[in-house]
Chain A
């Protein structure tokens, strides 16, 4: 299957700081990438759709000014959690799909802990 790389795998930060998470498609190009959030023992919830060269589309209830998404190239999308607070602590996962495929492949996730 296609490879999606996510970095960092784990980050601990102080409340009020910003954290950037990178998602890269390693062996294919992706005009669209998706960002999910997963709380402990829960399912994945879609946060936003990242579109190369245009603004991201956010799901209802997700603050676009808090979760900044940039999709600068066909292989890279970034999610920045601005002014992070303890309630933002979660597992963040990105996904992408090769152009001709409907299969979504996921990164290995980023565990964010805000102190």
Chain B
């Protein structure tokens, strides 16, 4: 199945630093969503984007839906230890059966105290 290109694959940063990760695709999507997944758990929705160019924040998280509809980025400001986890982007295509998602390859974030 198709996967989106997500970078970086992993990041090891210090507490308090800002983090940026992005996702690119060769296909256009109607929606972009960002999730965080911790070991043994299902993904938890962080931010959902619906329009090209849209910039949305959720606390220390900010994400943007690229103008071309083929990319999206997620920024985390002032990282803290609990930000550790794997972050996935997902591009969505609205079908008769709902919002069908294609996931990125994931970015593993590790935060050093």
Contact = CB atoms under 8 A, between A and B. Distances in A.
Interface residues of B, number: 29
Nearest to A4: B42
B59 interface: no
A82 B3 CA distance: 27
B58 to A, nearest CB: 11
Interface string A1-35: 10010100000000000000000000000011010
B66 interface: no
Name B's interface SS: strand
B73 interface: no
Contact of B42 (A1, A57, A59, A108): A108
Interface in B58-110: 88, 90, 92, 94-95, 97-106
- For this complex, into which size category does the number of interface residues on chain A fall? 20 to 34
Interface string A77-104: 0000000000000010101010000111
Could you say which of B102, B103, B104 has the most chain A C-beta atoms within 10 Å of its C-beta?
A: B103
A49 B50 contact: no
Contacts of A102: 30-31, 48, 50, 92, 94, 99
A49 B98 contact: yes
A34 B88 contact: no
B33 A51 contact: no
Contacts of B43: 44, 93, 106
Interface of A: 1, 4, 6, 31-32, 34, 42-46, 49, 51, 57, 59-61, 91, 93, 95, 97, 102-109, 111
Interface of B: 1, 3, 30-31, 33, 35, 40-45, 48, 50, 88, 90, 92, 94-95, 97-106
7 contacts: A43-B105, A93-B42, A102-B48, A103-B45, A106-B35, A106-B43, A109-B41
